[in-house]
Amino acid sequence: MTKKSKTVVFFGSGPLAAKSLELLTKDFEIEAVITKSTAPGHKGKVPVLDLTKKLGIKTYSIDSRMQLDDLIKDVNFISQVGILIDFGIIVSQKVIDYFEMGIINSHFSILPQWRGADPISFSLLSGQKTTGVSLMLLVEAMDEGPLLGYSEITIEPTLTNPSLSEKLVEVSHSLIKDIVPLYLDGNATPQPQSVTGKNISYSRKLTKSDGLIDWTKPADKIEREIRTFIEWPKSHAKIGNVEVIITSAHVSPTINTRSGEFRTKNSQLFIQCGEDSLSIDKLKPAGKPEMTISAFLAGYSGRLT
């Protein structure tokens, strides 16, 4: 078969991949989807597989780089290019070279800032004012490929990890829709990452221990962690004798006590931090639904001393 200019093979595994793939189907013909295999015993939704089944897209599940190499060797794809978003498996040069125009990775930061596994979380945690999306030609070195384009957005101070992710998926799709056809027609030239003017930095995967609040940190840093960890690993703390997950808070002036100690006033609860204090807006006691701080104080006052 002849290669088709708007036909692509999509590489993606996570929730961001599923949302991105759904948008891509409006502007590209998806020849096939390659995704990470579901873990044994997994229960619940598998966003990419659920979507491809619904849309009738040919899908291949793989567990490793080696399996991906074997798949590319055995299947005759016609697409000139691959598009990779939130894939979760290292791609070898052999696979990249299989596609005439390579593989384009949509990375959710302005490279070379926040290379690595979780650029969205670290953009929020750092307190920076802007982030964005970079379209990069994939190379074996981690997130070091040349750029086809990028787009920057403001990080509003109330954004959480999910709400920022949603914005970046839209930015990503707009870039892909506009730039990939130009690239395939020879009208978009790859440029070094230095064109963005950003410094090199690296993100990592979050761990469960990241969610345990350290009250010696400044209040503004903890507030950013709460917005970043809202889905996982969540922001865990103990208030009095009550284990809670804090879901919303804002910075307040110091209450002049030791870090981690709290004070209540007018149905508000303040916890001293390394700098300033944190006024808790909403939380979830263990095994209970989210509630306002006034509801929490009304129901748990006897367990806070």
Domains 1-101 and 106-205 share a fold: yes
For the domain covering 208-303, report its CATH number: 3.10.25.10
- 162: which residues sit within 8 A by CB, 6+ positions away? 230, 231
The pTM (predicted TM-score) of the whole model is 0.94
DSSP SS3 for 203: strand
CA-to-CA dists, residue 182 to 76, 177, 195, 224, angstroms: 25, 9, 19, 38
Q: What's the pLDDT score for residue 41?
A: 67
Q: How far apart are CA 210 and CA 250, in angstroms?
A: 19
- 81: which residues sit within 8 A by CB, 6+ positions away? 8, 9, 99, 100, 101, 102, 103, 104, 180, 183, 184
Average pLDDT estimate for 211-239: 98
Bridge partner residues of 147 (DSSP): 136, 191
Q: How far apart are CA 224 and CA 265, in angstroms?
A: 24
- Contact yes or no for 65/89 (Cβ under 8 A): yes
Residue with tokens 């390394």: 274
Tokens of 258: 């030791």
Q: What's the pLDDT score for residue 127?
A: 97
Residue 5 in this model has a pLDDT that exceeds 80: no
Q: How far apart are CA 281 and CA 261, in angstroms?
A: 17
Query: pLDDT of 248-278, one tens digit each?
Result: 999 999 999 999 999 999 999 999 999 999 9
Using CB atoms within 10 A of its CB, is residue 68 exposed (0-12), middle (13-18) or buried (19+)?
A: buried
How confident is residue 73, by pLDDT bands cut at 50, 70 and 90? very high
Q: What's the pLDDT score for residue 1?
A: 37
Highest CATH level, class, for 1-101: alpha beta
E strands of the chain, at which residues? 7-11, 29-36, 59-62, 81-84, 103-107, 115-116, 130-137, 147-154, 202-203, 235-239, 242-252, 262-265, 268-272, 277-285, 291-292
In the chain, domain spans: 1-101, 106-205, 208-303
Tokens of 43: 């229960």
Query: pLDDT of 274-291, one tens digit each?
Result: 999 999 999 999 999 999
The rounded percent of the chain whose pLDDT value lies above 70 is: 97
Four-way CATH pick for 106-205: 3.30.420.40, 3.40.50.170, 3.20.20.70, 3.40.50.1000: 3.40.50.170
The rounded percent of the chain whose pLDDT value lies above 90 is: 92
DSSP SS3 for 174: helix
Residue 3: name the closest of 91, 74, 82 by CA.
Answer: 82
DSSP 157: T
Average pLDDT estimate for 218-235: 98
CA-to-CA dists, residue 12 to 59, 81, 175, 244, 302, angstroms: 11, 14, 17, 34, 49
Residue 44 in this model has a pLDDT that exceeds 80: no
Lowest-pLDDT choice from 18-22, 37-41, 161-165, 209-213? 37-41
Q: How far apart are CA 37 and CA 166, in angstroms?
A: 24
